[in-house]
Amino acid sequence: MGGQPAVGAAGSGPGYGAKPVVALVLLVLATGTHLLAQLVAPEDLLADITQILLMPLLAAVLVTGLPSVGSTLARLVLVALFFSWLGDTLPRFLGGDAGFLTMVGCFLMAQVFYILAFWPYRAGSLLARPVAVLPYLAALTVLVVFCAPGAGSLLVPVLVYGIALGLMAVLSTGLGVQAGCGGVIFFLSDAMIAVRSFAGVELVAHGFWIMSGYVLGQGLIVAAVVRRRRTIDRDRAQGAAHG
């Protein structure tokens, strides 16, 4: 939800066309417009329209940044982006608890698909080093304790979502520092939604910071996926040349 993720290629190789300049420029423009709307008129139509555009444009950056989306990792990340888009879109047609639960449900599914995407790389993630996971557990515990009194009947679904979000953030480190930073930023973005919804804590320009973390976090994950695929293809090409 905000930010200007840079999808830098680790190098070009066979099967790669031009960099995803058009998709990236459109994403940056939509993100900038949306963040400005969050600062000036967060409840207006412009903020709604631009938010709905963000995830499709980020998906376009992923698709155009790869020679194909045949890998399981890329496909699962695309599905996660799809459910994020649903979470941005469907609640606008609902109201009250129904809209909030729909949002939580959509984003829970997004986290599930991110977890599935990152799971094959768990051996290289912080999950393989339990001590390194403690800060994530501490952050999740503080968030739950802080929000629990105001969650009421929504405590269980919010707790389930929080656990999935924390696991996603931990597993994202398996793709490297870039994706790990994206996972943490995504976690913090959703934590800001929770403290506003259940603890009544709202920062100046709260929506701006939520959306900034939302787009930047997932943008860094997409950048890591593109970088990983291009690095693999580059190494294969170099190995074939030397073989």
DSSP 3-state of 65: coil
The pTM assigned to this predicted structure is 0.87
From the number of C-beta atoms within 10 Å of its C-beta (0-12, 13-18, 19+), residue 240 rates as exposed
Please, which residues have CB within 8 angstroms of residue 116's CB and are 6 or more apart in sequence? 76
Residue-level pLDDT at 5: 37
Interatomic CA distance for residues 67 and 12, integer angstroms: 10
pLDDT digits (tens, 9 = 90+) for 106-164: 999 999 999 999 999 999 999 999 999 999 999 999 998 888 888 888 888 889 999 99
Residue-level pLDDT at 48: 93
Residue 212 pLDDT exceeds 70 = yes
DSSP 3-state of 13: coil
Residue-level pLDDT at 19: 64
pLDDT digits (tens, 9 = 90+) for 52-68: 999 999 999 999 998 87
